[in-house]
Amino acid sequence: VSARAELRDRVEAAVADRPMIEAVHLATLRKVEQRRAGMSVLRDVEALRALAAQVKQHTLEQLPHYLEEFVLRAEARGARVHLARDAAAARRLIVRIARDNGATLAVKAKSMATEEVHLNAALSAAGLPVVETDLGEFIVQLDRDRPSHIVTPIIHKDRRQVAAALARELGCAYTEDPAELTRIARAHLRDVFRRCDLGITGANFAIAETGTLVVCTNEGNARMTTTRPAVQVTLVGIEKLIPRLIDLPVFLKLLARSSTGQPMTIYTNLITGPRGPDDPDGPDELHIVLLDAGRSDLLGGALEEVLRCIRCGACLNACPAYRNLGGHAYRSVYPGPIGALVTPLLSPGRGRELARLSSLCGACEAACPVKIDIPKLLVELRARTLDTQGVSKRLGMMAWRWVMGSPRLYAAAQQVLRMLNSARIGPWLGARFGALRAWTECRDLPPVPRQSFRQWWRETGQPPSRG
């Protein structure tokens, strides 16, 4: 079964799941409205977005320099910095750190980078249990499900499903009261925090000037994860660097507003090095794993700007395709418009077909706080797919270019179309032949006018009247 046929099956299954689509639809529309309200209080949103894009772009253009500076500063503050060339290297490194420290129970704050490298599975296989501490991720873990949104992992679930998961897995009384459900999860996680000895996080930003990690959450679980266990590991993509501490407010102003409309996340943790002699809390050891995994291959190329992404999720909420499918149809750690880009770019050989899950309407670009031109990049990715897949499509596009490049051939093609149209042969052909059937099934061929503009011009020798 081809990847595109599989995608089609997943799309059909998603569209048929009405309760899930309704939950996703409601939640994303609410987030779009919250984002609009949150942004409306800023004095000059466009200038702020342009500045954020500029800072990120500048960092990417000077990435080796800022990486070197970050490593130097972080190590000067006592952190141990490691570079993981790919996902397998990141898994190996973190498993080794856990083993070297005799870890028996790990807690993890929500992190897309750890999802990307499938860290939980690697740690479990090495005999180390990992407990997700973000509430949404915790429910996903209890339910043996997969996250479907990069900020709101259980956007596809309603409160009945959450209640059922907690009652079944934790043995508590069934309740659908959100406050009570949160209290139950909190009590369970408190006990886990008491017993854990390894904390794992991602980072929203890494500041080169100071060697600081910035971790933004709304639940305080990252603060517990970075203060309670004796050893902390932070896995962070190399594109998360920003040059200076003074650049951070630009992103803090945009990140939460783009995600949920909040002025800022409730908890914004700045972590520079492990616990010092006078610090009341914090880890004794801080390991920072810088993840490349395909990122440096994008530098300087046509798709480089995808690395500006700050994973706010606004493009998912704005995207009509995501809203009507949910995240599981993408079958990727990163769903939605940004997922359609980063999945094939960071995991070669996977998800190339996802670039087609977009109408290219531009809503994603309009919502993006770092002004990534997602439709342009999707078109570029589609063109690359065309270069390497589907001989018939490539031949079709060559023929199209040939016809469109020659006035004679163009006129001849119009004649042929007119004949097909009047004889109603087009639908007959389309209904019978594979590739044409796939094309005509969901598209109408508009009727071709009896007379072309060229014929009319030749006959009358004058421009059409404007009246």
Confirm or reject binding of residue 162 to ligand SF4 (CB under 6 A). Answer: no
Length of the chain: 467
Q: Residue with structure tokens 């500006």? A: 308
Q: Residue with structure tokens 């001989």? A: 391
- CA torsion sign for 247, 251, 253, 254 is positive
Which tokens hold the place of 432?
């019978």
**By C-beta, is 31 or 223 nearer to ligand SF4?**
31
Alpha-carbon distance of 27 to 13, in angstroms, equals 20
Alpha-carbon distance of 335 to 147, in angstroms, equals 9
Confirm or reject binding of residue 312 to ligand SF4 (CB under 6 A). Answer: yes
Give the interface segment with ligand SF4, choosing from 88-96, 216-224, 312-320, 353-361 (CB under 6 A).
Answer: 312-320
What three-state secondary structure class fits 232? strand
State the minimum distance, in angstroms, from the CB of residue 251 to ligand SF4: 10
Confirm or reject binding of residue 367 to ligand SF4 (CB under 6 A). Answer: yes
Give the interface segment with ligand SF4, choosing from 20-28, 107-115, 128-136, 307-315 (CB under 6 A).
Answer: 307-315
Angle ∠(107,271,197) on CA atoms, nearest 5: 25
CA atoms within 13 A on the CB side of 315: 29
Confirm or reject binding of residue 370 to ligand SF4 (CB under 6 A). Answer: yes
Confirm or reject binding of residue 338 to ligand SF4 (CB under 6 A). Answer: yes
Nearest alpha carbon to residue 142 among 159, 161, 125: 161
State the minimum distance, in angstroms, from the CB of residue 322 to ligand SF4: 10
**By C-beta, is 38 or 283 nearer to ligand SF4?**
38
DSSP states of 142-160 as a string? HTT----SSS-TTTT--HH
Which tokens hold the place of 439?
């094309």
Confirm or reject binding of residue 372 to ligand SF4 (CB under 6 A). Answer: yes
**By C-beta, is 166 or 318 nearer to ligand SF4?**
318
- CA torsion sign for 99, 100, 104, 106 is negative
**By C-beta, is 31 or 352 nearer to ligand SF4?**
31
State the minimum distance, in angstroms, from the CB of residue 309 to ligand SF4: 3
Confirm or reject binding of residue 346 to ligand SF4 (CB under 6 A). Answer: no
**By C-beta, is 211 or 335 nearer to ligand SF4?**
335
23, 233, 309, 377: residue in contact with ligand SF4 (rule CB under 6 A): 309
Alpha-carbon distance of 275 to 418, in angstroms, equals 77
Confirm or reject binding of residue 378 to ligand SF4 (CB under 6 A). Answer: no
Confirm or reject binding of residue 113 to ligand SF4 (CB under 6 A). Answer: no
> Strands 80-84, 285-291: parallel, antiparallel or unpaired by DSSP?
parallel
Task: Give the residue ranges of DSSP H helices in 62-174.
Answer: 63-76, 87-100, 112-116, 119-125, 135-142, 159-170
CB 28 within 8 A of CB 337: no
Considering only residues 314 through 333, tell me which ones interact with ligand SF4, judged by CB under 6 A: 314-315
Number of chain residues interacting with ligand SF4 (CB under 6 A): 14
369, 377, 378, 381: residue in contact with ligand SF4 (rule CB under 6 A): 369
Binding characters for ligand SF4, 249-288, by CB under 6 A (x = yes): ---------x------------------------------
**By C-beta, is 69 or 239 nearer to ligand SF4?**
239
Give the interface segment with ligand SF4, choosing from 29-37, 117-125, 367-375, 459-467 (CB under 6 A).
Answer: 367-375
CB 282 within 8 A of CB 275: yes
Confirm or reject binding of residue 339 to ligand SF4 (CB under 6 A). Answer: no
Count of Cβ atoms closer than 10 Å to residue 431 Cβ: 11
State the minimum distance, in angstroms, from the CB of residue 239 to ligand SF4: 11
Alpha-carbon distance of 250 to 267, in angstroms, equals 17
Please give the residue ranges that form the binding site for ligand SF4 (CB under 6 A).
258, 309-315, 338, 367-370, 372
